[in-house]
Amino acid sequence: MTDSKYFTTTKKGEIFELKAELNSDKKEKKKEAVKKVIASMTVGKDVSALFPDVVNCMQTDNLELKKLVYLYLMNYAKSQPDMAIMAVNTFVKDCEDPNPLIRALAVRTMGCIRVDKITEYLCEPLRKCLKDEDPYVRKTAAVCVAKLHDINAQLVEDQGFLDTLKDLISDSNPMVVANAVAALSEIAESHPNSNLLDLNPQTINKLLTALNECTEWGQIFILDCLANYTPRDDRESQSICERVTPRLSHANSAVVLSAVKVLMKFMEMLPKDLDYYGTLLKKLAPPLVTLLSAEPELQYVALRNINLIVQRRPEILKHEMKVFFVKYNDPIYVKLEKLDIMIRLASQANIAQVLAELKEYATEVDVDFVRKAVRAIGRCAIKVEQSAERCVSTLLDLIQTKVNYVVQEAIVVIKDIFRKYPNKYESVIATLCENLDSLDEPEARAAMIWIVGEYAERIDNADELLESFLEGFHDESTQVQLQLLTAIVKLFLKKPTETQELVQQVLSLATQDSDNPDLRDRGYIYWRLLSTDPVAAKEVVLAEKPLISEETDLIEPTLLEELICHIGTLASVYHKPPSAFVEGSRGVQHKRLPGSAGSGESVESPDTSSAAGLSEAPPAVIPSQGDLLGDLLNLDLTPPATTGPTPPPSSGMQLGAMDLLGGGLDSLLGGDLGGSPAMGAAFGAPPAVMPASFNAPVSGGLDDLFDLGGGVGMTMGAYSPPKTIWLPAMKAKGLEISGTFARRAGVIQMEMTLSNKAMSVMTDFAIQFNRNSFGLAPAGPLQVLTPLNPNQSIEVALPLSTVGPVMKMEPLSNLQVAVKNNIDVFYFSCQYPISMLFVEDGKMERQVFLATWKDIPNDNESQFQIKDCHLNSDAVSNKLQSSNVFTIAKRTVEGQDMLYQSMKLTNGIWVLAELRVQTGNPNYTVSLKCRAPEVSQCVFQSYEAILKN
Amino acid sequence: MIGGLFIYNHKGEVLISRVYRDDIGRNAVDAFRVNVIHARQQVRSPVTNIARTSFFHVKRSNIWLAAVTKQNVNATMVFEFLYKMCDVMSAYFGKISEENVKNNFVLIYELLDEILDFGYPQNSETGALKTFITQQGIKSQHHTKEEQSQITSQVTGQIGWRREGIKYRRNELFLDVLESVNLLMSPQGQVLSAHVSGRVVMKSYLSGMPECKFGMNDKIVIDKQGKAGSSEDGGKSGKQSIAIDDCTFHQCVRLSKFDSERSISFIPPDGDYELMRYRTTKDIILPFRVIPLVREVGRTKLEVKVVIKSNFKSSLLAQKIEVRIPHPLNTSGVQLICMKGKAKYKASENAIVWKIKRMAGMKESQISAEIELLPTNDKKKWARPPISMNFEVPFAPSGLKVRYLKVFEPKLNYSDHDVIKWVRYIGRSGIYETRC
């Protein structure tokens, strides 16, 4: 029998045909038709129009057909509530059927139909089914109560179904018990405070009995429910544990993990000196290891959980390091998790093995995995002091491979190693510095800068190194900028004489030219600190740093406790509390380990070691990123005496600043600094700059604007063609770019209008050019500071330089551009008018012109006609001049004006021209002579464009 | 609990979609297609969260199965359920392929209705399901009242995996000890990790409701008996016992009894099933030793020599031996000389595959290869994946021995002696790798 044919139906009049078939007298045909309907429904076609016809097929003694109709009903009843009523009678009748399978089917399906009127009719049959003689019907009815509660909670309470459900916990059939437990647990979750599942020793006993008898799934429901119970004392806790441990040998991993959850939780209450406590710990390890031979998806879930268990009770798996070694064919998600656990289990005893493995992993293919392996080596060094030396040398070996991402990752971890073991491994700094140029990731750059700043006194050219970073200060990420600022201040405090200029430069970059408030604030803090009390500055900036902890990514203890209560569930996979990813009231309840919630009543003897176990001080966690922050936190922000947060009025400022300098700086610099006043002045400036800087940029900006306006209005600007669409929105996922080129005040600009025609916000714009004939390249980043909202347009002017890489293009003025945003990278090409490349000093001396003209062979001369131009020669000359085509001489021969002109391209190529203008004749002739005749065509086109504009 | 279950083909077309909970909409079907299937990337996590909806996915040949939820479900259970679902489907219609799923979609819906109620897994033992989900709807109408209640009591009962009234003329039992031996060895021949994961797979054709008891040379049991019995016996059997790290059992095994007495007693399902799984790490017999020798001769040549040694009784024969020697991506040609079997250079798999049909114990064989390389300017060194090996040996590398399998059926008149029992040991390679 093949059913696949139902997936292929004729398209035309499909619904109509189906309707006819559904109403057919023949049973077989009806069934076929319903199958087709279900197939269409699966694929996502709307077959709701057939509702009455399908419902008509419901009254049948064919169970298969009935099930199909029910399936249809569950899908569409909600959209057709009125018609769904038609089905009620059949449901009610089926609930009375002598066949228990049909009774159960009816009540199961009714519960899935979320239509109020059907729900009303559900109550009576459900009540009967909950007390049915057949266990199959009862177990189905138990789940149905949960369904009904989801639709109408009030109704369930009013009808007293909850009590009936509670009675089912004492049912003789284990599966009924299990389903009742599942239903009650779910209902209880949405009533956090109701004592619905009132678990007491009697009910617990019943659950534990059912645990031995029910299906694997039932065992999971029961174990998950047990995990919510808090035993009264350690004896009860132990007896439950004893009855749960056999489950650790179940073939179903979910049964095993749920059992582990119960044991992990109840173990908290056992005294640690109890023999049983030790036995239990030993019993937990083997099943956890066995989980690793399950299918990869389960391995992943198990590993995420083991990660939690190891953090809470490292003793369980401390001898099992080897099972976490990565296999070559493990899926990547298993590999990454195993690596995490390897680091957690690393100790002096096994470090040699671990390191050998990690070194092996660092040569694998997957980039993420390799990075993590390199990072792991660093973490081993920090965790196991004895291994630090070996780790460092391993890292150095890896740096020698020169694989870019390996080097960067290694530098990041070496920074942490320096933090942990100061004055031990600084000899490797030289090797690190060799790789300075290859660092392109912010984290690695920041780490390197930190190292240079921290050890400035040992690195001879520290100032040069830092200065090299400073060149592209504004292109760096915030992380790097902040680090650079701190590093240079450190450098200055260590070597004040040589680095004055540098520190001033960075401070002004950070405070005046930056839009980033964090950066600006830090800049001001340093600036003020240096200018008021340099001794304090030294104390603050070069203060001893707090030690970094062994473990960098430990889960915060209270969260860990909560997650332990959620072992096996999604929360334990995500390592997030359920409230972080579950909507609504469910799962908002925070679970706690017993005893730790501070509820002393439930724990009889709070002085037992269970409490002691919990009070073990959690290791202080300082994120490895935190050293920046650490510096700042050490700052005592209340200034020593004078300066408040608001600077004094600017008039008195200069003087005040001089005073502030005082002897402080001298004391810092000692006698070596002859030029201290000069330097003082330099430092005196900043507070003054503060208030001023609020005005200056604004007014400056306005001036610029006026300049621009004036320029355009007064002298005619260089020719710039109108904007054309370069990148249509269709081709760029909604980003439209139109643009043109212009030369404004000697700067070539690419002027673009970016329009967002998509539905989502666009950010992170960047631009890049392909190599081109004249080496055009963006002189700065694309300045789109605010995100571009849908239907918004923005004008951007991108200054261009001509020092980029050169490659001859066809046509010559072709430019290939790549624009990136948060969505994708887009490519387009456009042509620029060559007149844009005519430089301002393109006027040739007459003599030189003559000589050059003669010198260039006649083969290089090309002639063009410019048609339909009605300007006189003076106007022509003026117009061309504004585009940097300079008229050197004019000669009038036989009513013809001969204009001799010169222009120079950005790459130094001279173009000479002879333009013949005949009064009365609208057609001009231009002869171009150039050593590179390829450009002539383009130059001619520019002539035409300029003159006709 | 599980909010919905979808089955897709490799193109992302939905073959089956069953929604159990109101919080899962039709758009979930598309979200998974777009974000996971169409992404066509290596799966970086088997659990994917898209717009606060979690998708648990597994792939069987070309078919994706995805369970969807918005709640904090028991993740382990969801995956176990997906595997179970695959087992049930295979038991009904064989391989899970697009064609088979389409051909049986009505059956699959019926199964999904039965084994998952409001997202809670219900009895999913094929033995029980096959009694009432038959795809012959009419037939189930003709069950007598007794038959009906028998079905329901079996589905919900304590022994949900076996129905009453099974009768065989010949009572027979087949027991296979299947082991896969896993090894990771360093180039110097140091065992980095080794373990055996074994399974006891049974086929039982027994009448009635037989009570079975299975015994093996488990160290804990033997030691206990050794203490109780004569010291002579204890000394003898002590040598042959094995230490089992951990074991898990089919749900038919009484776990509490195993926990207290370490005895394995059960009422078996009818037909095929896996009685137990176990894992050992101590005193493993490693059937083969691989000794690699890789020498880089200049930048464009590589010399590889691999010796394999069989390490078991010379009267036994290993079969289906295959050694896979990876070579760099820039290989242009390979010359091979092997003493035994056939070796091939498979460029598409970037490996030299050396196959030997049979090899007796305590023997040695070797292959040497000269690999020509194309010069590259690739800075990154070749990762040198490990040399892997496949084989099959007629013994259990863990040393496990079946001591007895007793059958009692108090109600029917056949005894343990009347049951014909077959025992077989097969050791296979799991991940058997030697780094080079």
Q: Is B47 on the interface with A (CB under 8 A)?
A: yes
pLDDT for residue B436 is more than 70? yes
- With beta carbons less than 8 A apart as the criterion, state whether B240 and B217 touch: yes
Q: Is A61 in Cβ contact with B141 (below 8 Å)? A: yes
pLDDT tens readout for residues A702-723: 344 344 433 333 445 677 888 8
Who's near A795: CB < 8 A, 6+ residues apart? A751, A752, A753
pLDDT tens readout for residues B280-296: 998 999 999 999 998 88
Q: Is A64 in Cβ contact with B135 (below 8 Å)? A: yes
Residue percentage of chain A with pLDDT more than 70: 84
pLDDT computed for residue B202 by the predictor: 94
A-chain residue closest to B190, CA distance: A353
Banded pLDDT at A645 (limits 50, 70, 90): very low
pLDDT tens readout for residues A720-772: 888 888 888 877 888 888 888 888 878 888 888 888 887 778 888 888 888 88
Residue appearing with tokens 């049974």? B202
pLDDT for residue A679 is more than 60? no
Angle at A572 between CA A570 and CA A574, to 5 degrees: 70
- With beta carbons less than 8 A apart as the criterion, state whether A772 and A817 touch: no
pLDDT tens readout for residues A272-319: 888 999 999 999 999 999 999 899 999 999 999 999 999 999 999 999
Lowest mean pLDDT among A229-233, A623-627, B100-104: A623-627
Report chain B residues whose CB lies below 8 A from the CB of A2: 102-103
pLDDT computed for residue A363 by the predictor: 84
Report B:115-154 residues touching A (Cβ under 8 A): 117-118, 120-125, 132, 135-138, 140-141, 143, 145, 148-149, 151-153
Banded pLDDT at B74 (limits 50, 70, 90): very high
A-chain residue closest to B102, CA distance: A4
Banded pLDDT at A76 (limits 50, 70, 90): confident
Banded pLDDT at B138 (limits 50, 70, 90): very low
Provide the mean pLDDT of chain A: 81
Q: Is B64 on the interface with A (CB under 8 A)?
A: no
pLDDT tens readout for residues A464-497: 888 888 888 888 899 999 999 999 999 999 888 8
A-chain residue closest to B1, CA distance: A186
Shortest distance, CA B83 to any CA of chain A (angstroms): 9
Closest Cβ–Cβ partner in B72, B255, B383 for A247: B255
Q: What is the ipTM of this complex?
A: 0.84
Report chain B residues whose CB lies below 8 A from the CB of A252: 80, 251
Q: Is B317 on the interface with A (CB under 8 A)?
A: no
Exposed e or buried b for every residue in A667-705, given b needs 16+ CB within 10 A? ebbeeebeebeebbebbbbbbbbbeebeeeeeeeeeeee
Residue A172 DSSP SS3 = coil
Shortest distance, CA A274 to any CA of chain B (angstroms): 20
Who's near A334: CB < 8 A, 6+ residues apart? A296, A299, A300, A303, A326
User: Bridge partners of B390?
Assistant: B322
pLDDT computed for residue B239 by the predictor: 53
pLDDT for residue A683 is more than 70? no
HSE (CB half, 13 Å, CA atoms) of A707?
8
pLDDT computed for residue A690 by the predictor: 42
pLDDT computed for residue A726 by the predictor: 87
Shortest distance, CA B162 to any CA of chain A (angstroms): 13
HSE (CB half, 13 Å, CA atoms) of A214?
31
Q: Is A220 in Cβ contact with B152 (below 8 Å)? A: no
pLDDT for residue B237 is more than 60? no
Q: Is B434 on the interface with A (CB under 8 A)?
A: no
Q: Is A139 on the interface with B (CB under 8 A)?
A: yes
Lowest mean pLDDT among A67-76, B46-55, B178-187, B225-234: B225-234
- Cis, bond preceding A649 (omega within 30 deg of 0): no
Closest Cβ–Cβ partner in A217, A251, A298 for B277: A251
Provide the mean pLDDT of chain B: 88
Q: Is A341 on the interface with B (CB under 8 A)?
A: no
Distance (Å, whole) CA A943 – CA A913: 10
Residue B422 DSSP SS3 = strand
Residue range B267-277: average pLDDT?
A: 91
B-chain residue closest to A36, CA distance: B106
Banded pLDDT at A628 (limits 50, 70, 90): very low
pLDDT computed for residue A121 by the predictor: 86
- With beta carbons less than 8 A apart as the criterion, state whether A559 and A544 touch: no
pLDDT tens readout for residues A312-370: 999 999 998 989 999 888 999 999 999 999 999 999 999 988 999 999 898 888 899 99
Comparing CA positions, the residue from A195, A136, A184 lying closest to residue A161 is A184
Residue B199 DSSP SS3 = strand
Nearest 10 degrees: CA dihedral of A644, A649, A652, A656?
Answer: 20
pLDDT computed for residue B361 by the predictor: 93
DSSP3 helix / strand / coil % (chain B, rounded to 5): 25, 40, 35
Banded pLDDT at B322 (limits 50, 70, 90): very high
pLDDT computed for residue A717 by the predictor: 62
- The counts of H helices and E strands in chain A are 38, 13
Distance (Å, whole) CA A178 – CA A194: 21
Comparing CA positions, the residue from A208, A132, A133 lying closest to residue A177 is A208
- With beta carbons less than 8 A apart as the criterion, state whether A435 and A452 touch: no
